[in-house]
Chain A
């Protein structure tokens, strides 16, 4: 596949693929049901997929630098937007099914509960990145674009804290995500030198 295929066709094909979990969810809701407590099921499902896509975004750079897979770069935008989509679903489920649109309950949660604050921070920070993810925005922002999009590290750390702080009974899942993030960040650290040359 030539590089143009990935940036023209491939990255659009990622969307139906990335939305397969959502389609699976709709299928389940329609044909087998989501169980007696959809609130719990849906928030776990949407939160986990948001995090997996976020981790996928972070694998692009190491694979590009380490394995020379630069053809992956065009996929970073749809991967990021998919993370933002599932995170949006996660927040929607929380507001609708956990809080029943009770805004005073949201206020109380944001005041008292650090894991909700961390999660909300992560989601809020995804917005500027989603809104400036297009090629046009990237060109317009120039060097500032790269700085802005470093927010992804803050997002992933806040998301990890959110997962750790909501754990109950075991932190196995949270530890797995944390391990993956540590590996992905360590791979960047090692190959930092070339990126410094890139930025002026």
Chain B
């Protein structure tokens, strides 16, 4: 399952530097607090991270030179129904989420199952930036500079067995912190939110676990402290605030598929040729948009990552397995 890296070893942070990361982060946090930057605004409250920047020299798909969606839009326009159905609700209410201490349970087909402290897990990882397109199933999209590490390197820490065919993820269930999870007669979603990937999708180098964006710790409304990012799939696959990862032989259930199976399949690959039953997926609004410049652009198969991922689905009828 090893992924052959095309990152030159010179680009990888030496261990000595890596081990000094904490000192650096404290320094950076102070610097961040004092910095007066016109762009800072809400982002300046969040701790800065040390990470390897993405650039045109990064492996294909890790970087795009498309215009970034500004931080304020990325952090204030969210679908995170645990905090409410309105796009502005998560930014309003997500400060109730307690992101430390945070533990992640790894179970199922792994050599070393257990419940781990997130900070201990992060010590094993080198953070890097990925600038990805994010295409929501609702036909809007953003370009986001994430900070994180590949899911494959995280899973490698626990030794997946040969029986691991799928990875199942689960979001925190805590109605006192996440008001949208409170029982409601009218809700069509069962909490907690669950998602899943096939093992080869999970091990793909483009699949990352994000802990930050715009060089800083993830805002709570973006899925802090740990979220999945799978850039060639609709955003609903990129599960937020993860507390459980289970490797298993069977395909796991996924929240939107349970809620509306005719609208959301297990794969949810970005696909302009397969409409959502209630709207077309041919175009997307690249945010931010204005009243006059609506920025409506054609949606690309696999969200523009065909070259990297189309091979995973060879021989599959993607109009049936949507």
Contacts and interface: CB of A to CB of B under 8 A. Distances in A.
Contacts of B290: 38
A108 B282 CA distance: 12
Interface string B271-313: 0000101111011010111110010100000000000000000
B294 A100 contact: yes
Contact of B294 (A34, A96, A175): A96
A37 B280 contact: no
A172 B88 CA distance: 18
A35 B76 contact: yes
Contact of A170 (B70, B73, B186, B278): B186
B275 A112 contact: yes
Interface string B55-66: 000000000000
A108 B280 contact: yes
Nearest to A100: B296
Given A100-B283, A169-B187, A113 B278 contact: yes
Contacts of B88: 35
B295 to A, nearest CB: 10
Contact of B140 (A34, A40, A96): A40
Nearest to B137: A168
Contacts of B93: none
B189 interface: yes
Interface in A106-147: 108-109, 112-113, 115
Nearest to A39: B285
A36 B186 contact: no
B81 interface: yes
Contacts of B76: 35-36
Q: What secondary structure prevails in chain B residues at the interface with A?
A: loop
Interface string A159-186: 0000001111111100100000000000
B291 to A, nearest CB: 6
Given A39-B294, A40-B87, A172 B287 contact: no
Contact of A36 (B73, B275, B279): B73
Contacts of A165: 278
Contacts of A35: 73, 76-77, 87-88, 288
B83 to A, nearest CB: 12
A174 to B, nearest CB: 8
A145 B294 CA distance: 42
Given A113-B277, A169-B81, A37 B184 contact: no
B184 A38 contact: no
Contacts of A115: 278
Contact of A171 (B140, B186, B277, B291): B186
Contacts of B283: 100, 105
Given A109-B280, A113-B278, A115-B278, A36 B77 contact: yes
B5 interface: no
Contacts of A37: 77, 87, 140, 285, 287-289
A148 interface: no
A39 B285 CA distance: 9
Given A100-B294, A108-B280, A170 B287 contact: no
Q: Which 5 A-B pairs have the closest CB atoms?
A: A36-B288, A172-B186, A36-B73, A36-B287, A100-B296
7 contacts: A29-B291, A37-B285, A39-B289, A97-B294, A168-B85, A170-B85, A171-B186
Interface of A: 29, 34-40, 96-97, 100, 105, 108-109, 112-113, 115, 165-172, 175
